């Protein structure tokens, strides 16, 4: 921790002295404007893909707790439909999928099945500052476990699906059983030192496990390992609520099973703008929306 403090002081001094910028400048881009207006269903011309999808049931799961919409990434989405832009952009590519939202209030949206949770878990821990985030993350895990679909996908509501490469997510889940997204962070040590809502990792990895993101996450009904992993995630969140990446690492360490890590193209967050081959943009991060010219 002393080494980390010294590094941060040196970085701050370099910024103050003009020797270093707080973040690198983004290259100028000229992306066409994107919005939710005029979205059209994608027509699949690939017979192999059509056959593959026609043999599967797919469910997308949202988890929205607290009637006041709060976005940790910094974007103001209060004027959007509660599940947008994720819901509208997903429906372009999966019009026949089932859409479900877990919530503690009467969140009614056409075409979305509400699973109202009248007695959520963690009621004895409501005093924790990030209580609603803990709830939302818990029911992302639980929602996939309760799904009867062949492929269940938990996703945050502030994502923007860009193109048909989203279908690769279904192939990857079918192949590997369960997937979680890559993170911009490094080891769990880095996560604990730099992120909110963390608790120590005390297992024999010494904090050198790989950290992960939380949207999108997937589960194949065929994957016993995936079910075990997400069950452990729920148990750990109930026992010791914290940042989801830490809950997920502890689940992996205890169960001995590890998800397939999706590349960053499936969750382009701030700091990853311009990486190429983007599939899903995390537009809850304002710099991502601005870089790709997404109007919310």
End-to-end Cα distance, the chain: 40
* pLDDT tens-digit series, residues 55-83: 999 999 999 999 988 777 676 677 678 99
Interatomic CA distance for residues 272 and 275, integer angstroms: 6
Cβ count near 22 (within 10 Å): 8
What confidence tier does 14 reach under pLDDT thresholds 50, 70, 90?
A: low
* pLDDT tens-digit series, residues 176-201: 999 999 887 789 999 999 889 999 99
Beta strands of 123-232 (E only): which ranges? 151-154, 160-161, 178-187, 210-212, 217-220
- Is the confidence at residue 212, as pLDDT, over 70? yes
CA dihedral (124, 128, 130, 132) in degrees, to 10, reads: 20
What confidence tier does 18 reach under pLDDT thresholds 50, 70, 90?
A: low
What confidence tier does 250 reach under pLDDT thresholds 50, 70, 90?
A: very high
**294 DSSP assignment:** B
Predicted confidence at residue 10, as pLDDT, reads 55
- Is the confidence at residue 169, as pLDDT, over 90? yes
User: pLDDT > 70: what percent of the chain?
Assistant: 88
Superfamily of domain 47-291: Spore Coat Polysaccharide Biosynthesis Protein SpsA; Chain A (3.90.550.10)
Whether this model's pTM surpasses 0.75: yes
207 phi, psi to nearest 5 deg: 85, 10
Name the residue ranges covered by the structural domains of the chain.
47-291
56-66 burial string, b = 16+ CB within 10 Å, else e?
eebbbbbbbbe
Predicted confidence at residue 4, as pLDDT, reads 41
Mean model confidence pLDDT for the chain: 90
């Amino acid at each position: 921790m002393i080494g980390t403090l010294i590094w941060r002081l040196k970085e701050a001094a370099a910024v103050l002295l003009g020797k270093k910028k707080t973040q690198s400048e983004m290259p100028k881009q000229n992306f066409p404007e994107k919005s939710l207006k005029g979205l059209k269903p994608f027509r699949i011309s690939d017979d192999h893909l059509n056959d593959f999808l026609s043999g599967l049931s797919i469910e997308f799961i949202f988890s929205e707790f607290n009637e006041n919409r709060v976005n940790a990434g910094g974007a103001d989405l209060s004027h959007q439909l509660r599940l947008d832009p994720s819901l509208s952009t997903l429906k372009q590519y999966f019009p026949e999928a089932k859409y479900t939202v877990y919530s503690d209030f009467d969140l009614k949206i056409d075409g979305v099945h509400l699973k109202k949770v009248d007695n959520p878990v963690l009621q004895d821990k409501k005093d924790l500052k990030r209580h609603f985030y803990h709830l939302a993350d818990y029911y992302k895990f639980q929602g996939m476990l309760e799904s009867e679909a062949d492929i269940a996908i938990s996703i945050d509501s502030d994502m923007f699906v860009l193109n048909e490469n989203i279908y690769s997510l279904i192939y990857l889940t079918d192949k590997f059983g369960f997937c979680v997204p890559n993170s911009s962070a490094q080891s769990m040590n880095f996560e604990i030192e730099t992120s909110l809502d963390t608790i120590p990792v005390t297992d024999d990895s010494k904090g050198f496990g790989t950290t992960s993101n939380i949207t999108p996450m997937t589960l194949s009904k065929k994957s016993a390992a995936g079910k075990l992993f997400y069950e452990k995630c729920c148990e750990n969140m109930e026992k010791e609520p914290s940042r989801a990446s830490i809950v997920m690492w502890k689940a992996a360490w205890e169960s001995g099973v590890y998800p397939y890590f999706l590349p960053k193209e499936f969750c382009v967050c701030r700091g990853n703008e311009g990486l190429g081959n983007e599939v899903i943009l995390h537009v809850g991060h304002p710099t991502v929306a601005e870089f790709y010219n997404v109007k919310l």
